[in-house]
Amino acid sequence: MFTIEHDFDATVITLIDEGSVALQEDITISAFEDCVTLEQLHPITQEPMLITLSMTQLRDLTAALDLPEGSYRLERGKG
């Protein structure tokens, strides 16, 4: 299950782990104009863990989801 909310400066997606085996804490993804953040509570300390991706890193991650194992470099299109 997931939710989508549009805030003033970001789109916020929350991924909710459902099921009966080894559930993980919810993940909140906030998409800003210049970066994307992922936040998840640490299951023991309950402290938030934050990862920030640049738009370039997000582009690379998106491409990587559809590629086989290997090393790649994406180049911007010319024109």
Helix or strand run (H / E) with residue 64? helix 55-64
Enter the pTM of the model. 0.81
The residues spanned by each domain of the chain are 2-64
pLDDT at 79: 54
pLDDT at 72: 85
pLDDT at 50: 98
Residues in the chain predicted with pLDDT less than 50, given as ranges, are: none
pLDDT at 78: 61
pLDDT at 32: 96
pLDDT at 74: 80
**12 token code pair:** 């916020």
